[in-house]
Copies of this chain bind each other. A is one copy, B any other.
Amino acid sequence: MKAYGIAIHGGAGTVSRAKMTKWKAEAYKETLKRAYSMAYQTLHKGGSSIDAVIEAIVILEDSYLFNAGKGSVYTHLGTHEMDAAVMEGKKLKAGAVASVGYVKNPIKLAHTVMTKTKHVLISGEQATEFAKDHNLEIESKEYFYDEFRYKQWQKALMNDKVQLDHDEDGQKFGTVGAVALDKKGNLASGTSTGGMVNKKYGRIGDTPLIGIGTYANNDSCAISCTGHGEFFIRAAVAYDISARMMYNKQSLQEASNEVIHKELPALGGRGGLIGIDKHGHIVMPFNTKGMYRGLKSSKNEEFVGIFE
């Protein structure tokens, strides 16, 4: 039987074990488990890896726990600017959105860009208009309101500090993502984020950039990244792992470990990623104190965790 499986993340960061109460950890784990379990069922029934990836990410976007969709942080102007990307490994098709507001599920919007347009990346208010034109769910400002996020923003505003969500006191992390391999041997990946707290100037991170934060290729692997986006961009992380596998004959594990534990730290970059190869091998390296993550595969593997 051909292997299949799903891995997901809810962001990497420097959350401290001390500040993570038991019930909070359980809430995160329960949501992660629900997301990968649903996606795994889809794969088990013969569904596609791209559908499984989107299904898992929608669950994480709809949770207030993660910095994506509903749980997105506030920008400097008090708005929400979300980024997302999806890619499928068979024909290397991809879709992505940057700086969209009010769209309930940016990952669905990215998928719509992939399937309904000739573009890969669209952005800003016009991308929100595109979402409306394609009957995607739009939510009010209230939907995205969250007391913790709001206070986090106010605090950052007072200090005039642009920050990653996980620079904060560790209560909430940034970015969600999923990678999957289906029974047909097709790989897919997706990533979604609410960006940086108090971010200015329409900053775009690595999440919506194909080959950087998100990449899938049936000949190598599917990757979804989380961390300090600027460093991931400069290191072209997702494509670099694929290139090491294709040109350097490294395994997914060797390639991803070198990038996360050598290349990125050399630049000063912190974060992690999840990856799956065509044989169903799953990796989840990170160079931070923790990464919200989970996986389930046809090899009877199942795991959900936060810390090392």
Binding site for B on A (CB under 8 A): 77, 92-94, 98-99, 117-127, 129-130, 162, 200-205, 209-212, 215, 229-230, 233-236, 239-240, 243-244, 247-248, 267
A77 to B126, CA, bound (A): 10
Q: By DSSP majority rule, is chain A's interface helix, strand, loop, or mixed?
A: mixed
- Least CB distance from A107 to B in Å reads 17
- Least CB distance from A117 to B in Å reads 8
Q: Which 10 A-B pairs have the closest CB atoms?
A: A243-B243, A211-B236, A247-B247, A247-B248, A123-B202, A126-B202, A124-B202, A122-B201, A236-B239, A130-B201
A62 to B87, CA, bound (A): 37
Number of copies of chain A assembled together: 2
Q: Which residue of B lies closest to A75 (CB)?
A: B126
Q: Which residue of B lies closest to A124 (CB)?
A: B202
A233 to B214, CA, bound (A): 12
Contact pick for A204, options B94, B121, B212, B244, CB 8 Å: B121
Q: Which residue of B lies closest to A209 (CB)?
A: B209
B residues less than 8 Å from A211 (CB atoms): 209, 211-212, 233, 236, 239
B residues less than 8 Å from A121 (CB atoms): 203-205, 209, 233
Q: Which residue of B lies closest to A125 (CB)?
A: B202
- Least CB distance from A136 to B in Å reads 13
B123 touches A123 (CB 8 A): yes
Q: Which residue of B lies closest to A118 (CB)?
A: B230
Whether A120 touches B215, Cβ cut-off 8 Å, given contacts A200-B126, A239-B240, A243-B239, is: no
- Least CB distance from A226 to B in Å reads 16
A233 to B114, CA, bound (A): 13
Residue among A200, A205, A267 facing the most chain B CB atoms (10 A cut-off): A200
* A–B complex contacts, Cβ < 8 Å, 17 sampled: A94-B233, A94-B234, A98-B123, A120-B229, A121-B204, A122-B204, A123-B202, A123-B203, A126-B202, A127-B201, A129-B201, A209-B212, A210-B233, A211-B212, A236-B239, A243-B244, A243-B247
